[in-house]
Structures are given as structure tokens and as C-alpha cells.
């Protein structure tokens, strides 16, 4: 299965999903398999273990499972359906970093390595760690019939652990890491599997290529500019590689954007050129941390991935989206064009974070965005694609609710543009009042522009509330309503950038702002001080 297909297509043509971070309703994954098969994909990387969750109820370690975890029977059903469709489900167990699914439990707390916040590890030098990982890996590897087992091993921070430092004693920084990789590799080989691991540590410390077992498959994930050199280095050292772009990552939310599509096509173009071709096993498009996006707004990118990896070269997005709109929704070319252009115009994560401001600092970033005009120039086109899609959704033959998720993505993006624009108008009115005040104008003259500013802010709050309610309904349609990631008010770190909580905090911030301005305006009428509010 690792062989290249004739005609340039990749042997491994995959999607990686992240149920550890965002567990979707179980039936969704079955639907995803159908979509994947329809578009020529043959591999699903199942990233079910990470800091935020462990989505499998193991017999050996049931204590690891988080809410809505798959039972062994459920996961077997998924694997069986995948097999019928020609899709290999590869389990991924983070076997060093991203280890809070283990160390968050009281009984394993002493295994925690690295800082409290950010990257971390299960201490590879603690005597309890390897036996525990061996038990987990053994059960998972035996449950999944795939010839591959993905051991994770990305983004490890061993911090200043005295145990690890004692063990390293003057050797290179990566030595403890490499020793651990070898130990995990032995366990994985012992179950008769080929080991896959993320290649970020190897990219940073190429010296490891000399000591790691050559039968390890290195998964090079690169989500910005593609850097072929580290991948070439792995190939030259005799390793097999998989190239991993991203549909969804920290840099984009709501839906994939132009940068994400460029990343996918660039990775594919790079993989196609690398030699020896037989050691380039294929591509797996990763979909991380989807709580910040709308689940169904990512379906078109799954189709795109299938086209791209089947062709083994970059593909024309507009053409794919037309075919997708036709086969998926029974909608015409106009809908396909709108789907493509909508995604190309999607704001980036920093733009969304600023536009949906929930603090004075973010509000200033929003004003900066307004000044640069980057979002404002997209407002009209976003509105027109969204209208085209809404029309298509009304007349769509199939999967209408899914198509409406794309309409909603357009509305969220449109809200971002609108809020930035409106904020600059409100501030402009406010500044006018300020100027009048400096000129010694009376209360009556000031209150005109101030009331206008307030009116704009109130409209912004209403717009945010309307979209937030729609996103809330979409969450309940597609996800578990009791998922803590739905709400930000638990103070949990991982929900900071989630879409719905972000919208709700934005709405609350605008509420507080309008309240304090209203009060100040009333006080000012009675002779109170100016300036206030903005």
C-alpha cells in the first residue's frame, strides 16, 4: 500500500483528524470516510491522544478516556467501514510530548516533565513511563489492523528535568529524545508495525538521522513556506517520508483560507519532485484543533485533498469546487465558484482575533486592521459570495445543512469585516466629540456625535449576538452540546481561541462598552468630565 500509483498519484493519500482536541459526533467520522473514499483518499490518521483528550476507552487503561471517547467496539466499526472503502486507519498515540492525557491524572502526575503551560512531556527518564506507554501502545496497535503505527513524538519540551539531565550527561540536547524514540520503536516493531513519527525534532537536530532506526517513516509537517531541504536530508539518510500540509491549524479558523490552500498545493508540488520517489510514501493533510472552526466548512478541502494527492500534483481549486458543489450538493457552477472564492477571502486567525475584539488591546489591533484596509476590501466580495451560497443552499438537492455551514462561515467572515469597519466609524464620531470638547463646545453639541458612536456600537453588539446564536445552533447540530469547548467561561486554556466563546466574549465586551458609555454620557449631561469610554 505504500507504493506509488502509476500516473504520479501518491501511494498514501490521507487526512489526519484531531478527535483528541475536538471530538465530533461519532457518526461524523463515518460520513467523513464516505467523502474521503469518494475523492480517492485511502488513509485516515487518527490523532486521538493529546493534552486535551484521549478518545478511546482502553481495556488496559480505561482511566485515560475523556468524555465521548470511542469504545473498542465503536472504533472497530469505524475501522471495518474504512476497510470496506479501502481506507487504512492509522492510530496515533503521542508517546512523549503532548502527554497531558497521561500526566493530568493524579496517579501519573509524577511523570510530568516540562513547563506547566505549553509544550510538555511524559518524562522519558522516569522508570514508570516506558512500561505505561508500552501497555497503551500494545493495546492500541493490536486494536488497529493497520500496518502502520504513528507514535507522535512532536513538539517535546523536556524542560529542565533533573532526571533527564543526569541521564544526558554532556551528550547533545537531543540524545535523551533519540533514546526514547528507539525504545518506542522497539515496542512498535514488537507489535509487527511500521513506526511513523513527526519529523520536527529531526528537522531541528539532523544529527539524529544517524542514530534513529532507518525503517521509521518521517512525517514532515510544514504549515507555512515549504522547506524541501529537511525532507531531502531525511531521504538522503535513507528514511521514507510522508509530507503533511494543513487544512486547519492555529493560523486559520472558521474555514480553510488562501494560505492553507497554497500550503497544500506547495507541499504536493514539493513531494512530487523529491527523489527517490519510492521513498516518498505520500501525503497526509492534517486538520488540527477544529474547535476554532465550523466542522462542515472543512469538507470542500477534503475533496481538494483527494484530487491533489490522487493527481500527485497541485490542482486548480475552482475546478475542484465546481465538481464538489455538483456532486455533494447538487448545486451549479456558480455555487462552486462561490465556495472557492469564499475560502480564498477567509480572514486569518490573527485577523479574526482582532476583529472579534474582547479587550482594549484587541480593540486597538482592530483599529489598526481598519487603517490597513485589509479586511474592509474583502467585505463586498465576501457578502456577494455568501449571498450566492445562500441562494444555492436554498435550492440544493443534497446535504443542504452542510452547505449552510459554508454560508455561516461567510457570515462570520463578513461579521469580522463589518465590526472592524464599524469600530472605526464609532471611533471617528468619538474623536469628533473630543475635538468639540477641546474647542469648549457645550454638552448639547458633544452629545450628537457621542450618541452616533453609541448607536454604531449597539448595532455591532446586535450583529455579534445574531452570528453567535447561529454558531451556537451550528455547534449543537454538529457537535456534542455538553462539550466544555463550547463555552469559554470555564477558564480552560484550550478554549481561548474557540470560535463560539470568542464571539460571546466579543459580544459581552461590546455590552460593557456601550453600558459604560451610556452611563458616562448621562453623567456628562449633569456636568461630569470628558473624555470617557473609547
What residue ranges bind Zn ion (CB under 5 A)? Answer: 113, 123, 125, 161, 163-164
Q: How far is the CB of 92 from Zn ion (least distance, A)?
A: 22
Q: Which is nearer to Zn ion, 164 or 244 (CB)?
A: 164
Gap between the Cα atoms of 100 and 112, Å rounded: 8
CB of 129 to Zn ion, least distance (A): 9
State how far the Cα of 340 lies from the Cα of 334, in Å rounded to an integer: 10
Kindly state the smallest distance separating residue 97's Cβ from Zn ion, in Å: 12
- Is the dihedral angle over the CA atoms 368, 372, 373, 378 positive or is it negative? negative
* Alpha helices (H) along 90-198: 100-103, 129-143, 162-168, 175-190
Specify the residue, 128 or 273, whose C-beta has the smaller distance to Zn ion.
128
Rounded Cα gap, residues 197 and 89, in angstroms: 15
Residue 129 or 386 having the CB closest to Zn ion = 129
Residue 3: CA atoms inside 13 Å, Cβ hemisphere, count?
A: 4
- List the beta bridge partners of residue 44: 15, 89
Measured from the CB atom, is 125 or 514 closer to Zn ion? Answer: 125
> Min. distance of Cβ 165 from Zn ion in angstroms?
8
Nearer to Zn ion, 16 or 96 (CB): 96
Least distance between Zn ion and beta carbon 468 (Å): 43
Q: Are 44 and 36 in contact (CB under 8 A)?
A: yes
Give the shortest CB-125-to-Zn ion separation in angstroms.
5
Cα–Cα distance between 240 and 56 in angstroms, integer?
A: 29
Q: What are phi and psi of 25, to 5 degrees?
A: -55, 140
Find the residue with minimal CB distance to Zn ion.
161
Residue (161 or 503) nearer to Zn ion, CB: 161
In the complex with Zn ion, which residue's Cβ is closer, 104 or 163? 163
Question: What is the residue-wise DSSP string for 316-377?
Answer: -HHHHHHHHIIIII---HHHHHHHHHHHHTPPBHHHHHHHT--SHHHHHHHHHHHHHTTTHH
Which is nearest to 300 in space by CA: 321, 315, 316, 285? Answer: 321
Pick the closer one to Zn ion by CB: 97 or 317: 97
We find the least distance from the C-beta atom of residue 113 to Zn ion, in angstroms, to be 4
CB of 512 to Zn ion, least distance (A): 45
Q: Are 495 and 291 in contact (CB under 8 A)?
A: yes
Amino acid at each position: 500500500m505504500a507504493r506509488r500509483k502509476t500516473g504520479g498519484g501518491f501511494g498514501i493519500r490521507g487526512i489526519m483528524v484531531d478527535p483528541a482536541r475536538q471530538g465530533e459526533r461519532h457518526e461524523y467520522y463515518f460520513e467523513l470516510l464516505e467523502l474521503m473514499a469518494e475523492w480517492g483518499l485511502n488513509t485516515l490518521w487518527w490523532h486521538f491522544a493529546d493534552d486535551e483528550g484521549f478518545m478511546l476507552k482502553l481495556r488496559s487503561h480505561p482511566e485515560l478516556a475523556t468524555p465521548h471517547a470511542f469504545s473498542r467496539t465503536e472504533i472497530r466499526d469505524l475501522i471495518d467501514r474504512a476497510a470496506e472503502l479501502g481506507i487504512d486507519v492509522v492510530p496515533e498515540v503521542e508517546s512523549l510530548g503532548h502527554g497531558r492525557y497521561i500526566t493530568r491524572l493524579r496517579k501519573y502526575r509524577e511523570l510530568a516533565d516540562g513547563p506547566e503551560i505549553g509544550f510538555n512531556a511524559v518524562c522519558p527518564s522516569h522508570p514508570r513511563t516506558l512500561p505505561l506507554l508500552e501497555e497503551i501502545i500494545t493495546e492500541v496497535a493490536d486494536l488497529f489492523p493497520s500496518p502502520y503505527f504513528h507514535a507522535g513524538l512532536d513538539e517535546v519540551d523536556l524542560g529542565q528535568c533533573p532526571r533527564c539531565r543526569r541521564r544526558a550527561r554532556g551528550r547533545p540536547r537531543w540524545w535523551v529524545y533519540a533514546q526514547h524514540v528507539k525504545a518506542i520503536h522497539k515496542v512498535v516493531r514488537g507489535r509487527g508495525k511500521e513506526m511513523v513519527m513527526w519529523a520536527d525534532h529531526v528537522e531541528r537536530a539532523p544529527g539524529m538521522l544517524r542514530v534513529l532506526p532507518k525503517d521509521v517513516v518521517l512525517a514532515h509537517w510544514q504549515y507555512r513556506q515549504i522547506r524541501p531541504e529537511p525532507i531531502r536530508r531525511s531521504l538522503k539518510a535513507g528514511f521514507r517520508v510522508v509530507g503533511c500540509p494543513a487544512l486547519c491549524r492555529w493560523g486559520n479558523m472558521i474555514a480553510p483560507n488562501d494560505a492553507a490552500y497554497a500550503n497544500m498545493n506547495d507541499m504536493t508540488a514539493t513531494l512530487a519532485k523529491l527523489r527517490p520517489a519510492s521513498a516518498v510514501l505520500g501525503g497526509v493533510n492534517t486538520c488540527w484543533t477544529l474547535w476554532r472552526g465550523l466542522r462542515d466548512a472543512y469538507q470542500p478541502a477534503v475533496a481538494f485533498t483527494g484530487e491533489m494527492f490522487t493527481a500527485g500534483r497541485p490542482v486548480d481549486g475552482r475546478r475542484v469546487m465546481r465538481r464538489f458543489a455538483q456532486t455533494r450538493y447538487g448545486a451549479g457552477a456558480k455555487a462552486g465558484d462561490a465556495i472557492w472564492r469564499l475560502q480564498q477571502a477567509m480572514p486569518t486567525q490573527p485577523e479574526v482575533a482582532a476583529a472579534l475584539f474582547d479587550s482594549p488591546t484587541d480593540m486597538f489591533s482592530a483599529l489598526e486592521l481598519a487603517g490597513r484596509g485589509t479586511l474592509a476590501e474583502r467585505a463586498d466580495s465576501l457578502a456577494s459570495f455568501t449571498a450566492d451560497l445562500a441562494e444555492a443552499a436554498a435550492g440544493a438537492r443534497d446535504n443542504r445543512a452542510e452547505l449552510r455551514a459554508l454560508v455561516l462561515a461567510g457570515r462570520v467572515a463578513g461579521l469580522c469585516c463589518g465590526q472592524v469597519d464599524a469600530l472605526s466609524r464609532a471611533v471617528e464620531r468619538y474623536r469628533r466629540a473630543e475635538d468639540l470638547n477641546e474647542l469648549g463646545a457645550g454638552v448639547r453639541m458633544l452629545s450628537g456625535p457621542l450618541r452616533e458612536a453609541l448607536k454604531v456600537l449597539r448595532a455591532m453588539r446586535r450583529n455579534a449576538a445574531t452570528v453567535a446564536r447561529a454558531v451556537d445552533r451550528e455547534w449543537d447540530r454538529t457537535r456534542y452540546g455538553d462539550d466544555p469547548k463550547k463555552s469559554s467561561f470555564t477558564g480552560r486554556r484550550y478554549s481561548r481561541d474557540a470560535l463560539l466563546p470568542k464571539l460571546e466574549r466579543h459580544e459581552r465586551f461590546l455590552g460593557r462598552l456601550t453600558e459604560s458609555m451610556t452611563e458616562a454620557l448621562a453623567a456628562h449631561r449633569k456636568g461630569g468630565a470628558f473624555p470617557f469610554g473609547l
